[in-house]
A = this chain, B = another copy of it.
Amino acid sequence: MIQIAVLGYGTVGSGVVEVINTNHDSINKRAENEINIKYVLDLRDFPGDPVEKVLVHDYEVIANDPEVDVVVEVMGGVEPAYTFTKRALEAGKSVCTSNKELVARHGTELLAIAKEHGANYLFEASCGGGIPIIRPLNSSLTADEIDEVTGILNGTTNYILSKMASDGSDFADVLKEAQRLGYAERNPEADVEGYDACRKIAILSSLAYGKEVNYEEVYTEGITKITAEDIKYATSMGTAIKLLATSRKVGDQYYAMVSPVMIDAKNPLYSVNGVFNAIFIHGNVLGDAMFYGSGAGKLPTASAVVADVVDCAKNKGRNIMMSWSEEKLDLLQIDDVKSRFFVRVSGHAAERQSEIEELFGKVEIVAVPSLSEEFAFITGEITEQEYREKAEKLDGIQSRIRARI
C-alpha cells in the first residue's frame, strides 16, 4: 500500500482524487501496489464531499505521519508549498507537483534534497499539462545532445492568438471572451505577459541541457501588443503568430526567450491551435520531435500528476536521477541573439524601400490590400541590438515581431 497526501483540494487536487478513483484498478496494476489517498489538506471544509473523511486542515498531521509515502503538492504559489515540500523530502517522502512557479524557483535545491534522502521530486504536470514531456526529456532522449526546445506552453495565449487569427478580432475583445469562457484568469497578466511560459521554458531547458536555467534571466515578452493588423499580415503570408518559449544552442552558447514569433506552415508548431500546447525538441542525433496535447485542464493535469505518483510507487526508496544539475547555465545576452524581424511601417513601399534597405540591407516587402497607408518588411537575420539601433533611425514603425520563416 502506498499512502498519499494531497495538498490543496482545488482544480488539480480534486482532479487527482477523481483520476485515482476512476482508474483505480489500472493505476494500481501499473504501480504494482495499491495507491491510497490517506489525507487531503485544505483550509476549507467540503461538507457532503466524499473527501471529507480524509480532510485535514493542518500540515503537521501529514508531516508527522510516517505512513505517508508520497505528498502531492498541488497548492500552487511559492509559500507554504516550498516549506511543505522541503519538509516532506527531508523526511524521505517523495513529492509530485504541478507547481511550475516552485519548480522554476527552487527546483535545483529540491531535487538535491530529494536525492540526498532517497526520495523523488517529480513535476511532469508543471509543463504542458498532461503532455508527457518531463519524463521523455529525462529518460527517453538520453542518447542525444539537445540543442533546441521550443514550445507553445501557454494555452490561454494560444487560444487568444488562434481566435484573433480565425475571427480577425482584436486582442482586448478576444481576451474578454476567453475570460468569459474560463480560458483566461480574471487577472490574466501571468499568461498574456509570458511569465507562465517563461517559468516552463526554464524548467524544460534545465532538464534538456542538464544545468539550471534561471527563469529570471529569460528574456520575456507577452502578446498584449499584437494587433488585428499584425494578424492580417501573418495570415496573408500563410504564417501564424504564436507565443513561443524557446531555448537554443548557438555555437557553444545558449539563449532562452519568450516572445511572439511568426512561423510558417513548415513548422510543426504552426498547426497547434486553441488551448492545445506542444513542445518541439531538436536533438543532435534524433533530429526533430514534437509532443502535443492538452496543456492545462483539471483531468489532463491530474493525469500527469498521478503518473508521477505511480513512478514514486514503483521507485519507493530509490531516487530517479534527474539530468538537471546544480551547475548554472550561462545564457547569451539578449542583445546578441539573432532573429529575423517582421516590421510594419507607415507609408508606401515604393517611396520608403530604399531608405529601409540602406539601414537593413535587402528586405522582403509585404503589403495587405486593406491596409493601404502602411506596409511591412522582413529583415534578414540580425541581432536584437542591431535591430534596435537601426529601428531607432526609422520613422513610423507600427510593430515588430520576430520571424522564423
Chain A stretch 16-40: residues in CB contact (< 8 A) with chain B: 18-19, 22-23, 26-27, 29-32
Closest chain B CB from A124 CB (angstroms): 7
| Residues 113-153 of A contacting B (Cβ, < 8 Å) | 124, 130-132, 135-136, 139-145
Q: How far is the CA of A290 from the CA of B18 in the complex (A)?
A: 24
Compute how far the CA of A135 lies from the CA of B134 in the bound complex, rounded to whole angstroms: 12
Out of B23, B131, B139, B289, name the residue touching A285 (CB < 8 Å).
B23
A132–B136 touching, CB < 8 Å: yes
Interface of A is mostly: mixed
- Across the two chains, which residue of chain B brings its CB closest to A290? B292
A19/B136 in contact, CB under 8 A:
no
Q: Please, what's the 1-or-0 string for A274-305, where 1 marks a CB less than 8 Å from any CB in chain B?
A: 00100000011111111111100101101111
Q: Tell whether, in the assembled complex, residue B22 and residue A285 are in contact, meaning their CB atoms are under 8 Å apart.
A: yes
Docked-complex contact A142 and B284, CB < 8 angstroms: no
Closest B residue, CB atoms, query A132: B140
Q: How many residues on chain A are close to B (CB under 8 Å)?
A: 56
Whether the pair A286, B292 counts as a contact (CB closer than 8 A) is: no
Q: A78–B364 Cα gap in the complex (Å)?
A: 56
A210: Cβ under 8 A from any B Cβ: yes
Nearest chain B residue, comparing its CB with the CB of A280: B292
Which chain B residue shows the least CB distance to A293? B289
Q: Is the CB of B290 within 8 A of A293?
A: yes
A307 at the interface (CB under 8 A from B): yes
**Residue in B29, B143, B276, B303 whose beta carbon sits within 8 Å of that of A210 in the complex:** B29
Contact present for A144 and B284 (CB under 8 Å): no
B303 in contact with A285 (CB, 8 Å): yes
User: Known: A23-B145, A323-B30. Contact between A288 and B294, CB under 8 A?
Assistant: yes
Are B136 and A140 in contact, CB atoms less than 8 angstroms apart?
yes
A112 to chain B, nearest CB (A): 16
Q: List 10 A-B contacts (CB under 8 A).
A: A19-B143, A23-B143, A30-B323, A135-B139, A142-B307, A143-B303, A143-B306, A286-B304, A287-B294, A290-B293
Question: A residues touching B (Cβ–Cβ < 8 Å)?
Answer: 18-19, 22-23, 26-27, 29-32, 124, 130-132, 135-136, 139-145, 210, 265, 268, 270-271, 276, 283-294, 297, 299-300, 302-307, 309-311, 314, 321, 323
Q: A130-B283, A130-B289, A132-B140 are known; give 19 further A-B pairs, CB within 8 A.
A: A18-B285, A26-B210, A29-B210, A29-B323, A30-B142, A30-B323, A124-B140, A140-B307, A142-B306, A143-B303, A265-B271, A268-B292, A276-B288, A286-B294, A286-B300, A288-B292, A289-B292, A289-B293, A290-B290
